[in-house]
Structure 1
Amino acid sequence: MADPLKSRGRGDLLWFFMLLGTLCETAAQIRYSVREELDKGSFVGNISKDLGLEPRELAQRGVRIVSRGRTQLFSLNPRSGSLVTADRIDREELCAQSAPCLVSFNVLIENKMKIYGVEVEIIDINDNFPRFRDEELKVKVNENAAAGTRLVLPFARDADVGVNSLQSYQLSSNLHFSLDVKSGPDGQKYPELVLEQPLDREKEATHNLLLTALDGGDPVHSSTTLIHVTVLDANDNAPRFSRSEYRVSVPENIPVGTQLLTLTATDADEGINGKVTYSFRNEEDKIAETFQLDSYLGEISTVHSLDYEETGFYLMEVVAQDGGALLASAKVLVTVQDVNDNAPEVILTSLTSSVSEDCLPGTIIALFSVHDGDSGKNGEVSCSIPGNLPFKLEKSVDNYYHLVTTRSLDREETSEYNITVTVIDGGTPPLSTENHISLKVADINDNPPAFSHDSYSISIPENNLRGVSIFSVTAYDQDSGDFAQVTYSLAEYTFQEAPVSSYVSINSDTGVLYALQSFDYEQIRELKLLVTARDSGSPPLSTNVSVSLFVTDQNDNIPEILYPTLPTDGSTGVELAPRSAEPGYLVTKVVAVDRDSGQNAWLSYRLLKASEPGLFTVGLHTGEVRTARALLDRDVVKQSLVVVVQDHGQPPLSASVTLTVAVADSIPDVLADLGSINTSSDPQDSDLTLYLVVAVATVSCVFLAFVIVLLALRLRRWYMSRLLQSSRDRLASRPNSHFVGMDGVQAFLQAYSHEVSLTTDSRKSHLIFPQPNYADRLINEESCEKSEPLLIADKMDANKEDPGDVQVSFLF
């Protein structure tokens, strides 16, 4: 049996080596180098190969670059797996004169939450020329200056480094001056003008020299400055500083305007030659913006606040010059001391906003980094969270921390955590920063949606607008998050041979029901729906509820008049009332129906207009047109009635019909009265004779035409006999009265006809008007005026009947 202590020792050793391998892999440092000023997208290095990944895995694993407080200089090409430049890189802008120029950042593999350090060296190219501050310089020298006198010249600056930086100076050839170049402790080359031969102002008062600065690049870049040397009268003492170099150290939080130090230079000469003035020489723009030098007192003070994190020291050169143009120079070094003026900074790199309540202990919630811009103890930070939370912090590489769970979570106990991450530095007094992380605990789907009612009954008036909202159903889910998101749908089934979805739709998000068509109460009175509420869980849970939709009636149908019907030829039907009719005589009956129901279908009849008021009445509920009094001889033969049929809806709807009633006891009276309607009499007596002549001629023509028609009818009697026989057969098959019903309403249809006998003698003809027989309707008056009456021979027998006595029927 194996020794348990040995087995345990081997297991611990195995875990130790696995942990060591993980740390080595995490802390690996990747190095590249790239030249400056390359185009955007230039290749830097194969990052996918160095990370041990395929190019296509970069996007799948969430590989991205993370850096703090700096513009991204590099980016990842997911297709090639290469690290490329994000834009043109200017080494001088990034690192100034520092060499080497290194850019550091981190690469995060998000799905593993691993950090890799990357360091890229920016290689300098010769893209900058040496530059003098001034294109021209005026130098003054005494004429009694001894050979070997040195005049300090302005030096050139080159933003490049190494061999590409400033390497040498050249002076144009002349008889009196030579050039000497010295190197300072900072590596800067300082040119000096050396007097080789004595000067004589009376012979030559000015000397123009050309100073050239050259770098060591390929090709060589250079720049020049013109030096004007003015020879002065004797001034044999130059100013002298008390020290060749001044040093001062100040904290970065000193107020603006603080005096840092005072420079002192003396001149043994007297008068103007002994008066000394101070000035900066070759000062950079940053020095001119930060410091101020009193030209008479030599006091240096600040005009701008100092920042240790921006610049840790300032090196400047101060020149003291007397009135005779002799000068001396001294170095001034201002060192900035760091103070604890930067609070720690927390940068969230990756954060999980929600976690399931059944997550395992050790689940990573967030990855963040901490940083302090100060140095030394002021930049040392510590990170903590409250101890009563089920979370802890685990330190990773390069000031990165993991926030992980320590136990299972319970959403019903706590649905959301507000975690405060506190970072404090080691300064005096210490500065701290708090960062709040909100974490929601996600629920599992264990509750189906529930409606507030077991079923719903709703009503909608007919003739609704398409797309109108009908009703809204709402279901609630006790779960949270996506599990509480309820969607609604209608169960599919067929109603009246059409899917129910063609009648009603439902908004899947709000549960609002919409009518897809205008409902008609006469076609659809009730519609059954089944609404399903389904949550967004996996698998989803659902609940059904029934909805009954009732359509209510509206007064949307105009009464329809069945009798009298309008003729298709555009004429108006004519009803016949004999002059012998008694009061209450039934002339005709108006029959109408309404497709609505209830009181919307109750109809009433009334006489709207009559050519002879008080002659006829209309039954309020029956629609029967009867005579109100006995007919008189003075009553005109043509009576026009307008009958209105109206329902009892709100608002009521109505329809009207115009009736024409012919009042006469004989057909000649009808014809005479109808003809007199359209004939207007001239009141002038002078035209009466003309009208009589025209009337006699017209009657003669009519009589002649009438005789011609009779002869034609005798020739075609066999045809007319057949036609009359077929007409009698059709009429015999129809009853004298008809009842037409619709929705329980009966309509009485009645027609009228009259037989007329026409007898002729040698000079005159007359019509015999018997009692009426209700058989058919008369044609209207206009038809009588447009054409001759249709004469139908009841019996024509040449052997038994006198040619002068013919019996015909007139149909009106």
Structure 2
Amino acid sequence: MAALQKRRRRSGMVVLFILLGILWEARARQIRYSIPEELDKGSFVGNIAHDLGLEPQELAERGVRIVSRGRSQLFTLNPRSGSLVTAGRIDREELCAQTAPCLVSFNILIEDKLNLYPIEVEIVDINDNTPGFFREELEVKILENAVPSSRFPLMEVYDLDVGMNSLQGFRLSENSHFSVDVWSEANRPKYPELVLERALDREGEAIHHLVLTAVDGGDPVRSGTARILVIVLDVNDNAPVFTRPIYRVSIPENLPVGTQLLRLTATDPDEGINGELTYSFRNEEDKISETFKLDSNLGEISTLQSLDHEESRFYLMEVVAQDGGALLASAKVLITVQDVNDNAPEVILTSLAGSISEDCPPGTVIALFSVHDADSGENGEILCSIPRNLPFKLEKSVDNYYHLLTTKALDREEISDYNITVTVIDLGNPPLSTETQISLTVADINDNPPIFPHTSYSTYILENNSRGISILSVTAYDPDSGNNAKVTYSLTEDTFQGMPVSSYVSINSNTGILYALGSFDYEQIKDLQLRVMASDSGDPPLSSNMSLRLLILDQNDNAPEILYPSIPTDGSTGVELAPRSAEPGYL
């Protein structure tokens, strides 16, 4: 029946809160949910698709995912329903201990836009822990001449729940001599104290059996009990007294192990064994005895192990001074651990575009990363920077996330690869820093045509050349890469003496070598004008032209020929008659 009521209470406690406002830098809405602890795996937390303004199927299409640092994943996304659900059973006490409220923060990343949406889930406590004592039975020794209203510290009580579900008070079994009161400070454990209401008489009653009950404020109420055995002692009429009720000391976290922190002093005016004091920790069950050493004779407290401000910022302990007659006094000790700059900042790369087109507009996001420093105060404050001579800048997003963006157009032909050094430095003294390399490749676009070294060439070839002989090789250079730089050669569709130029010469499209398709005759062609085109393989392709003049060189391939007088066709000797009156110089 109790289990059924518990399940009903849990199911009735699920409350959804959507936090108002819009985050100022990342334009992301703060979304907040609230769930009770101990829900089953897969329990509904909130309709994240609706709160992000998306349809459920868009979660997978747009790469929506949870990004968080450090702790294991407590929540997951249900892509079919668009809901945020629990990834397992959540124990608030394991997650947040005594901290209230218990808040789990993470971010939702929409991958296609690199937008971050901060999410906060409050884990609400349920009354699933019973108040308990560190021991089931405690002996309290009291002098018979103790005056009424005397107070005697009892054992520490614990309750892992918080708020009304935590420890609220104590009840003492019915008796005629004692009552119970509580010593507590804000946000500190409650210590029950036995209060003497009526004078004791050892001869009348030497031992008192009491039952102390600790109760919480849950519904239903949970309680735990311990037996108190009060032993009435004969007169040792002076109890130890500490010089102060509470001792405070502040120490840096990097103290060497074994360093003495403070010395507690208690006095007892009695003589002999009744005046001999021994010191001890009251709460030996917790981590106090593992971290600190108390000299039982001198009252000196020193460290047993290294301290870590990031693990525990203060320690509250109780020291008891007891004399040989079993009288004791207690004093509180509060040790505050100061932070030193012992943690270098760290960079966590969340998303990176390893390659980016050279025609991307300024402001294009290249990477998303977060920075973190485990220290506190100025030691945990971080400055993030990149070299100033690069065409990039950093832009702060939500929490400690940064975008890396372009600031101007890129040119692959000028710089094809970037190694961007991200430097994070804290404000500690001395400061600690970390450097992270982000590599970026600039992808080529076809923005350069092939280029000939010269816009025109002249070359020579002897007439009567062999068919297929190579005339010359032309080369064009394209600074692009890949297919954008793959050059092919061709002849433009020009004509010479009514014939296409391509009937006289040809060109190898890959090598740019020109070949003669026939034998040239100087007496018919003295020069040939060509235009060579170089084209790349980009999309669309780019091209350029070059003029080529092919000069034909003469060879002595023709014998002299007498045209006049003409030679008789019958094979006889030719005769030319001259008049007898011809003067010298007559033709």
Normalised TM-score (structure 2): 0.70
Q: Percent identity?
A: 74
Letter in 1 for 2:256: P
* Shift in CA distance, 304/198, structure 1 to aligned 2, threshold 3 Å: same
Matches of 1:148 and 1:422, distance apart in 2: 64
| Residue matched to 2:365 | 364
* Shift in CA distance, 231/43, structure 1 to aligned 2, threshold 3 Å: same
Letter in 2 for 1:173: E
* Shift in CA distance, 83/399, structure 1 to aligned 2, threshold 3 Å: same
Matches of 1:126 and 1:482, distance apart in 2: 69
| Residue matched to 1:302 | 303
| Residue matched to 1:194 | 195
CA distances 1:214-251 after superposition (whole Å, capped 9, x unpaired): 11111221111122222222111110000011111111
Matches of 2:439 and 2:208, distance apart in 1: 77
Q: How does 1:137-148 map to 2 (within 5 A)?
A: 137-148=138-149
Establish whether residue 28 from structure 1 lines up as the match of residue 20 from structure 2.
no
| Residue matched to 1:79 | 80
Matches of 1:290 and 1:154, distance apart in 2: 20
* 1:442 and 1:481 in contact (8 A); partners too: no
CA distances 1:553-589 after superposition (whole Å, capped 9, x unpaired): xxxxxxxxxxxxxxxxxxxxxxxxxxxxxxxxxxxxx
Matches of 1:437 and 1:239, distance apart in 2: 66
Letter in 2 for 1:427: G
Matches of 1:33 and 1:22, distance apart in 2: 20
| Residue matched to 2:182 | 181
* 1:125 and 1:164 in contact (8 A); partners too: yes
Matches of 2:68 and 2:22, distance apart in 1: 25
| Residue matched to 1:205 | 206
Establish whether residue 110 from structure 1 lines up as the match of residue 111 from structure 2.
yes
Establish whether residue 91 from structure 1 lines up as the match of residue 61 from structure 2.
no
Matches of 2:285 and 2:110, distance apart in 1: 44
CA distances 1:579-602 after superposition (whole Å, capped 9, x unpaired): xxxxxxxxxxxxxxxxxxxxxxxx
CA distances 1:622-670 after superposition (whole Å, capped 9, x unpaired): xxxxxxxxxxxxxxxxxxxxxxxxxxxxxxxxxxxxxxxxxxxxxxxxx
Letter in 1 for 2:227: L
* Shift in CA distance, 481/382, structure 1 to aligned 2, threshold 3 Å: farther
Shift of the alpha carbon at 1:181? 3.3
Shift of the alpha carbon at 1:286? 2.3
Letter in 2 for 1:399: N
Matches of 2:298 and 2:270, distance apart in 1: 18
| Residue matched to 1:244 | 245
Letter in 1 for 2:139: K
* Shift in CA distance, 441/229, structure 1 to aligned 2, threshold 3 Å: same
* 2:23 and 2:398 in contact (8 A); partners too: no
Shift of the alpha carbon at 1:27? 4.3
* Shift in CA distance, 51/229, structure 1 to aligned 2, threshold 3 Å: same
* Shift in CA distance, 146/21, structure 1 to aligned 2, threshold 3 Å: closer
CA distances 1:506-559 after superposition (whole Å, capped 9, x unpaired): xxxxxxxxxxxxxxxxxxxxxxxxxxxxxx99999xxxxxxxxxxxxxxxxxxx
Specify the SS of the correspondent of 1:273: helix
| Residue matched to 1:9 | none
Letter in 1 for 2:230: V
Matches of 1:336 and 1:133, distance apart in 2: 26
| Residue matched to 1:379 | 380
Segment of structure 1 superposing worse, 146-155 or 29-38: 146-155
| Residue matched to 1:332 | 333
| Residue matched to 2:403 | 402
| Residue matched to 1:272 | 273
Query: Which structure carries more relative contact order (alpha carbon 8 Å, separation 6+)?
Result: 2
Matches of 1:284 and 1:43, distance apart in 2: 39
Q: How does 1:193-592 map to 2 (within 5 A)?
A: 193-283=194-284, 285-443=286-444
Matches of 2:285 and 2:446, distance apart in 1: 68
Letter in 1 for 2:45: V
Shift of the alpha carbon at 1:481? 8.4
* 1:131 and 1:157 in contact (8 A); partners too: yes
CA distances 1:186-229 after superposition (whole Å, capped 9, x unpaired): 45433222334443434443222221111111122111112222
* 2:141 and 2:327 in contact (8 A); partners too: yes
Letter in 1 for 2:34: S
Shift of the alpha carbon at 1:142? 1.7
Shift of the alpha carbon at 1:22? 8.8
Q: Looking at CA atoms only, which structure, 1 or 2, has the larger radius of gyration?
A: 1
Matches of 1:190 and 1:254, distance apart in 2: 30
Letter in 1 for 2:331: A
Matches of 1:166 and 1:372, distance apart in 2: 36
* 1:184 and 1:190 in contact (8 A); partners too: no
Matches of 1:91 and 1:185, distance apart in 2: 21
Shift of the alpha carbon at 1:149? 3.0
Letter in 1 for 2:35: V
Shift of the alpha carbon at 1:46? 1.4
Gaps of 5+ in 2: 1-20, 449-478, 486-536, 542-587
| Residue matched to 1:524 | none
Shift of the alpha carbon at 1:260? 0.7
Q: How does 1:800-811 map to 2 (within 5 A)?
A: none
Matches of 1:67 and 1:371, distance apart in 2: 12
Letter in 2 for 1:293: L
Segment of structure 1 superposing worse, 358-367 or 116-125: 358-367
| Residue matched to 1:474 | none
Matches of 1:34 and 1:537, distance apart in 2: 58
CA distances 1:700-730 after superposition (whole Å, capped 9, x unpaired): xxxxxxxxxxxxxxxxxxxxxxxxxxxxxxx
Shift of the alpha carbon at 1:376? 2.0
* 1:44 and 1:84 in contact (8 A); partners too: yes
Q: How does 1:99-178 map to 2 (within 5 A)?
A: 99-178=100-179
CA distances 1:299-331 after superposition (whole Å, capped 9, x unpaired): 111112111122211111111111111111111
* Shift in CA distance, 416/282, structure 1 to aligned 2, threshold 3 Å: same
* Shift in CA distance, 138/23, structure 1 to aligned 2, threshold 3 Å: closer
Matches of 1:22 and 1:214, distance apart in 2: 43
* 1:55 and 1:80 in contact (8 A); partners too: yes
Matches of 1:443 and 1:322, distance apart in 2: 86
Matches of 1:24 and 1:435, distance apart in 2: 24
Shift of the alpha carbon at 1:261? 0.5
Specify the SS of the correspondent of 1:163: helix
Matches of 1:308 and 1:324, distance apart in 2: 40
Specify the SS of the correspondent of 2:404: strand
* 2:279 and 2:296 in contact (8 A); partners too: yes
Shift of the alpha carbon at 1:336? 1.2
Gaps of 5+ in 1: 1-19, 448-477, 485-535, 541-812
* 1:241 and 1:264 in contact (8 A); partners too: yes
Shift of the alpha carbon at 1:437? 0.9
Letter in 1 for 2:181: D
Establish whether residue 43 from structure 1 lines up as the match of residue 44 from structure 2.
yes
Letter in 2 for 1:306: L
* 2:386 and 2:423 in contact (8 A); partners too: yes
Matches of 1:315 and 1:328, distance apart in 2: 17
* Shift in CA distance, 98/196, structure 1 to aligned 2, threshold 3 Å: same
* 2:118 and 2:398 in contact (8 A); partners too: no
Matches of 1:481 and 1:70, distance apart in 2: 45
* 1:283 and 1:316 in contact (8 A); partners too: no
Structure (1 or 2) with the greater helix fraction: 1
* Shift in CA distance, 25/427, structure 1 to aligned 2, threshold 3 Å: closer
CA distances 1:470-497 after superposition (whole Å, capped 9, x unpaired): xxxxxxxx9978999xxxxxxxxxxxxx
Specify the SS of the correspondent of 1:125: coil
Q: How many residues align?
A: 440
Letter in 2 for 1:377: E
